[in-house]
Amino acid sequence: MKNKIYYGDNLDVLRKYIKDESIDLCYIDPPFNSKRNYNQIYNNIGKEDKAQAQVFVDTWEWDDQAIKGLAEIKENYNGVFTRQSINLISGLEKVLEKGSLLAYLVSMTLRIAEIHRVLKETGSFYLHCDPTASHYLKLVLDAIFCSKGGEFQNEIAWCYATPSGARNKFPRKHDVIFYYVKSKDYCFNIQRIAHKSGLHNTGQSWKSKSGTNDHVRNLEKQGKKVEDWWTDIYPVDRLRREMLGYPTQKPEALLERIIRTSSNEGDVVLDAYCGCGTTVAVAEKLQRNWIGIDITYQSISLILKRLEDQKEKALENIEINGVPKDFESAVALANKKDDRTRKEFEKWIVLTYSKNRAIINEKKGGDKGIDGIAYIVDRNENGELENREVLFSVKSNEILTPAVIRELNGTVEREKAACGILLILYPMPNLVKDCKQYGHYQNKFIGNDYPKIQVISVEEIFEGKRLLFPTNTMDVLKSAETHTVQKDIL
Ligand SMILES: C[S@@+](CC[C@H](N)C(=O)[O-])C[C@H]1O[C@@H](n2cnc3c(N)ncnc32)[C@H](O)[C@@H]1O
């Protein structure tokens, strides 16, 4: 099968596109009901402040979605809800009343019931959460899995040591990972770690060969079985080489352990909340087939970049669904109303045109109107390498006047950026002509002149037009040293 990425709400994607009993292993790391919204932090080279963009929302309200979801559970929509899960949610409605926590649990119940449907009879499910709502989530999981022949296997405590400011309680230093199976017949490859060092050794799936002395000696050599509390896997903020700036990124070693334990090569792994794509990146490395779903374009873009960085031409073998492919779907994205995501059209167009290299800008105030920034390399007057900014402004209006171009030029001058690019939904030849009056920007590194202000339409993006400056500073500087930077044209 072709590996697949879906850009959209996982409930819709699961219901519409994922077949019954087609998945061997599903891991999810959904929002924890942490009552905060998460930002992506970009390393803004040359800037003191860190650019941030909201990646996803983890605040819950009793809103229309919650009302609809509760009704669907009670009506047993799609026939996926067990009597126990219907009774559980109806009971919790009385206990918790219609508020934030019930909205969160309704959302999780809808999705876990679909995940149960798509798992093969031999399938396994891991739900990553934390003590904020883990006790409630276990009830939901028991009601869905155990009443249909499945079993609770473990509550794994993933323990980590990170600094804590807690003064009035014990610092919270573990996440909870619930592990369930759909039936008694499931895949479990024992994992071992070194006895003393605590170093993890997820690389081996151990097969018993009956009780010989050799076997006992082998056992010693191979280390002890991994138990249900994991202290040997560092969180990503201690693993600089893995850090992508994504707020809740999980370490690859964690996913490696789960994937090796509960699947074999060629099996299908699903992550329905895939964030920056840790599960799919590890599944790819371990030669599993995979499906990843996420609702925000920043995640989709990070996953695409991550896979491409991991393996050349990786994207050629991936089916990407839900991402605009023609004018109509771009218009639909621009007009989409969704409280839980913001500025998805802006994110999609900036990230697509910049080949996933730009940074999404959500700062208010001075640089209002700037939706994204790409960093390009140039030389200063002394011939030293320096970063310059390319500013992106996105407009999806049907009518635009030359004032937008003038404003963009004003912002480019004020911010001392290299150039500005207006990304538009509806083609506007007049605006394109208008840009000429603003002249050129000369890039001393590449040695070429480029229009200072440009207008690029969605149509041109579908025709394949992309930002051709080398945009990732670190990549550029590294390759600059080895003289391999291509002199691309903008
Ligand atoms: C905690 S993060 C996952 C992090 C991930 N494990 C990683 O290592 O990068 C949760 C993700 O779920 C996504 N998400 C939230 N609600 C969703 C939904 N209804 N459908 C699909 N994705 C959703 C968010 O956009 C976010 O990227």
From 297, 323, 349, give the residue that closes a domain: 323
Q: Do 177 and 316 fall into the same domain?
A: yes
CA distance 476 to 253: 29
Ligand 1 centroid from CA 301, angstroms: 13
- Read off the pTM: 0.87
Q: Do 55 and 143 fall into the same domain?
A: yes
Question: From the CB of residue 71, how many other CB atoms can be counted at a distance below 10 Å?
Answer: 11
Q: Do 155 and 282 fall into the same domain?
A: yes
Ligand 1 centroid from CA 407, angstroms: 36
Q: Do 75 and 222 fall into the same domain?
A: yes
Q: How many secondary structure helices (H) and strands (E) does the chain include?
A: 15, 21
Domain-embedded: residue 490? no
Domain-embedded: residue 421? yes
Domain-embedded: residue 92? yes
pLDDT the model gives residue 448: 86
Q: Which atom, in ligand 1's list, is nearest to the CA of 341?
A: 25
Sorted by sequence, the CB contacts under 8 Å of residue 53 that are 6+ apart come out as 39, 40, 42, 298, 347, 359, 360, 361, 362
pLDDT the model gives residue 205: 40
Domain-embedded: residue 465? yes
Q: Do 230 and 349 fall into the same domain?
A: no
Q: For the purposes of burial, counting CB atoms within 10 Å of the CB of 407, is it exposed (0-12), middle (13-18) or buried (19 or more)? A: middle
pLDDT the model gives residue 211: 47
Q: Do 36 and 184 fall into the same domain?
A: yes
pLDDT the model gives residue 445: 87
Mutation choice for ligand 1 from 18, 55, 274, 344, CB with most ligand atoms inside 8 A: 274
Mutation choice for ligand 1 from 237, 299, 303, 307, CB with most ligand atoms inside 8 A: 299
From 290, 323, 356, give the residue that closes a domain: 323
Ligand 1 centroid from CA 480, angstroms: 35
Domain-embedded: residue 193? yes
Ligand 1 centroid from CA 245, angstroms: 14
Q: Do 15 and 108 fall into the same domain?
A: yes
In 3D, which of 212, 150, 205 has the Cα closest to residue 26? Answer: 150
Q: Do 357 and 274 fall into the same domain?
A: no
In Å, how far from its chain's centre is CA 120? Answer: 25
Ligand 1 centroid from CA 275, angstroms: 4
For β-strands 419-424 and 440-443, DSSP reports them as: unpaired
Q: Do 119 and 20 fall into the same domain?
A: yes
Q: Do 317 and 385 fall into the same domain?
A: no
Q: Domain containing 170: what range?
A: 3-323
Domain-embedded: residue 330? no
Residue 217 maps to which CATH number? 3.40.50.150
Domain-embedded: residue 471? yes
From 263, 295, 323, give the residue that closes a domain: 323
Amino acid identity for residue 324 in this structure: P
DSSP 8-state assignment for residue 277: T
Provide the number of structural domains found in the chain: 2
Q: Which atom, in ligand 1's list, is nearest to the CA of 111?
A: 19
pLDDT the model gives residue 471: 58
**For every one of its 490 residues, what pLDDT tens digit does the chain have, with 9 covering 90 and above?**
899 999 999 999 999 999 999 999 999 999 887 666 666 555 444 343 444 566 666 778 899 999 999 999 999 999 999 999 999 999 999 999 999 999 999 999 999 999 999 999 999 999 999 998 999 999 999 999 999 999 999 999 999 988 888 889 999 999 999 999 999 999 999 999 987 644 444 444 434 344 456 666 666 777 899 999 999 999 998 788 888 888 899 999 999 999 999 999 999 999 999 999 999 999 999 999 999 999 999 999 999 999 998 988 888 889 999 999 999 999 999 998 876 677 899 999 999 999 888 888 876 555 568 999 999 988 888 989 888 999 999 999 999 999 999 999 999 999 999 999 999 999 999 999 999 999 999 999 888 899 999 999 999 999 999 998 765 544 433 333 333 333 333 4
pLDDT the model gives residue 216: 64
Query: Using CA positions, which residue lies closest to atom 19 of ligand 1?
Result: 9
Q: Do 182 and 295 fall into the same domain?
A: yes
Domain-embedded: residue 158? yes
List residues near ligand 1 (CB under 6 A): 9-10, 29-31, 56, 246, 248-250, 273-276, 278, 293-296, 299
Q: Do 74 and 173 fall into the same domain?
A: yes
Ligand 1 centroid from CA 414, angstroms: 37
DSSP of 359-428, one letter per residue?
Answer: EE----STTTT--EEEEEEEE-TTS-EEEEEEEEEEE--S---THHHHHHHHHHHHTT-SEEEEEESS--
Query: Using CA positions, which residue lies closest to atom 22 of ligand 1?
Result: 294
Residue 401 maps to which CATH number? 3.40.1350
